[in-house]
Amino acid sequence: MSSTKLFCPITVGDVKLSHRVVMAPLTRFRADANHVASRLMLQYYTQRAAVPGTLLIAEATYISPAHCGGQIEGYPLYSSSPVSMDASSPGPEEMIDSAIWSCPGDSRTAAQNAIRAGFDGVEMHGVDEYFVGRFSQDTVNQRTDSRGCSVDNRSRFALKVVKAVTNAIGSNKVGMRLSPWSTFQGMKMRTDVAERQFRTLSATEGIEFALDIWQDQGPVFVAGGYDGARARSAVDGEHQDRDTLIVFGRYFLSSPDLVYRLQHGIEPNEYDCSTF
């Protein structure tokens, strides 16, 4: 295993890593009722950081009380457009300008709080039903104003958030996660697009077009059902000319010592999605 680039050191932003295996953001709902991290979460992340120099991307968190049910009861839910996740979900209302432009400020404050709390950086979640994804993906964004229709217009919200966060904590501490082909929660891009204005790009499945656009702007995190063999093939073969890191999700859930297992050729535990 020592001959593979998968276990060669790499620097991501300001952080020096001992290998290129990354833990994906995996929402586990283990915070307390006030959305504060619990002792169980401490144990969970400690187990998966057993190999020094491992990058763990923590699960998503709210940037504002308004995004976790903290608004006045009876106020409507807002989104880029009045498009529901599915037929059983309540329909949101289209956001007005004042509500839209409060989000970059909330993102900036949340990022600053994360750095003060000791995180090495932040990754903005531009996938699924999160706000960045709901503005950038043409499946959901059906606006006809300056924040809809074209690629440039749909990207304005994401770029505004990126600018606010990078100006606050520095681009070396900021990444963006994209998944244009995911159909989870009713999402999926119809067109091939990607933007760049941050230090790292994290992409899942069918992302060659994004890598071509990104070129060599910084490290690339790739995800999408990797196992040990495919991970080694990716960094040593198809992505050998890039600073590529491989993101694992489900195997990190079933095998907290995943990095050690990959290093020593030990098969990870099989995962059971029904228990997630």
Catalytic residues: 130
Distance CA 21, CA 148 (A): 37
Distance CA 90, CA 83 (A): 9
Distance CA 1, CA 170 (A): 35
Nearest to 276 by CA among 26, 40, 85: 26
List residues bridging with 123 in a β-sheet: 175
Q: How many helices (H) and strands (E) does the chain have?
A: 9, 11
Distance CA 178, CA 147 (A): 19
DSSP 150-175: SHHHHHHHHHHHHHHHHHHH-GGGEE
SS3 178: strand
Distance CA 194, CA 74 (A): 37
Distance between first and last Cα of the chain: 30
